[in-house]
Amino acid sequence: MTKIFSIIFLLATFSLSLNAQQTNKGKVSETFMNPLRKGADPFVTKHNGKYYTIFNEKGGFAVTESRYLTKFEKKEVVWTPTEGKWNSYNLWAPEIHHIDGKWYIYYAGSVHKGAPYYAQRAGVLESDSPFGPYEDKGRLYTGDDPDQKKDNCWSIDMTVLELNGKKYAVWSGWETLHDHHDVDQYLYIAEMKNPWTLGKRVLLSKPELDWEKGDNIVLQEGPQILKHNNDVFVIYSTRGSWTEHYKLGQLRLTTGKDPLNPSSWIKSSKPVFQGTSTVHGLGHASMTTSPDDSEYWIYYHSKAALDGGWDNREVYLQRFTFGKDGNPVFGIPKGRGEMKRPSGEVKTEQAEPGSL
């Protein structure tokens, strides 16, 4: 009889253990781990309930698609440059935008590989699908003479602002051409005649405050558009991206004013997001909302270690809010570690067949 009870007990224990394993196997995690991946200059856009990101991979650009901010569901390399072209090398900071029913990738490229980085120019690709095939629409003219197209100027980190039925390009560029790369970088804006043609550029902002200075050059780069209610912001990066001092500043458009007028934009008096004793070189961020649109999240990179220059950077996600004055409140970067997933992600995953 004792043996029978022992067998029954063992069977019951095994059954409970098996059930627990099956339950844990199907359980949806409510957290995610930062960093999300290695890389830099992260960009994310939300379209029809899905997130699209883009980054360098295998000598070209990889695009991802997902219902989740914290993981990819699909990834494909969608474009690689051909040899011997103006954009064959130094592919920097790609962004993917859905404009008037088509998809566009904005990026910087160069005719030669590596340093000196004086040949960087902004380019654009066009497709009917985020995953291509893409048509190379060539270089965008980012100089001072759009009619004659003389002296196309150095430009990187182009993004797109859509406002009141018009579209504007915002980017980081040089005032004049140089044969080296130790040159100050400013933010420029121009109205877009179409996704690959710009009007006359306007100098939008220079690094003039103490917290924007301190390296061998002064710079503003990585401009990103943030909209909230009726407010429009340009969140930009400043200080050297190769240093621990990289940080974010902000321009806020005065409501109802012309975005092509520099005086329409008010610069923050201090950094709006910067590193800590454990988070170094924070910058080049983009912003989006959670799957259910109830939260705002910032997608940024920082250095994995103090040394290493541009090498070994990582991508992070963090929630942010807005203050009573309407400005974004990014808070203090938490860096590595476990965080609660964006609102709506768990519910979406729990609805998948076989998740529970």
Residue 2 clears pLDDT 90, i.e. is over it: no
Q: What is the helix (H) or strand (E) element at residue 22, kind and residue range? A: helix 2-26
- The catalytically annotated residue of 95, 212, 221, 349 is 221
Known catalytic membership, residue 41: yes
**Mean pLDDT, residues 148-161:** 94
| Residues 236-258: tens digit of each pLDDT | 999 999 999 999 999 999 999 99
Per-residue model confidence (pLDDT) at position 14: 43
And the tokens for 4?
A: 């029978």
Q: 13 φ, ψ to 5°? A: -60, -45
CA 169 to each of CA 38, 140, 145, 188, 269: distance values in angstroms, whole numbers, following the listed order:
28, 10, 16, 8, 24
DSSP SS3 for 237: strand
And the tokens for 189?
A: 């804006």
Cβ-proximal residues to 323 (8 Å cutoff; 6+ apart), any chain: 329
Mean pLDDT over the full length of the chain: 92
What band does 85 get if pLDDT is binned at 50, 70 and 90?
A: very high
| Residues 270-310: tens digit of each pLDDT | 999 999 999 999 999 999 999 999 999 999 999 998 887 78
Residue 5 clears pLDDT 50, i.e. is over it: no
Structural contact between residues 24 and 342, judged by C-beta atoms closer than 8 angstroms: no
**Mean pLDDT, residues 27-56:** 97
What's the start-to-end Cα distance of the chain, in Å? 39
Lowest-pLDDT range, 40-54, 145-159, 162-176, 193-207? 145-159
Give pTM, 2 decimals: 0.92
* Domains (range + CATH), the chain: 43-139 (no CATH), 154-334 (2.115.10.20)
Per-residue model confidence (pLDDT) at position 7: 42
Residue 111 clears pLDDT 70, i.e. is over it: yes
Query: Closest Cα partner for 43 from 101, 108, 134?
Result: 108
Known catalytic membership, residue 65: no
Rg (CA), the chain: 23
Per-residue model confidence (pLDDT) at position 13: 44
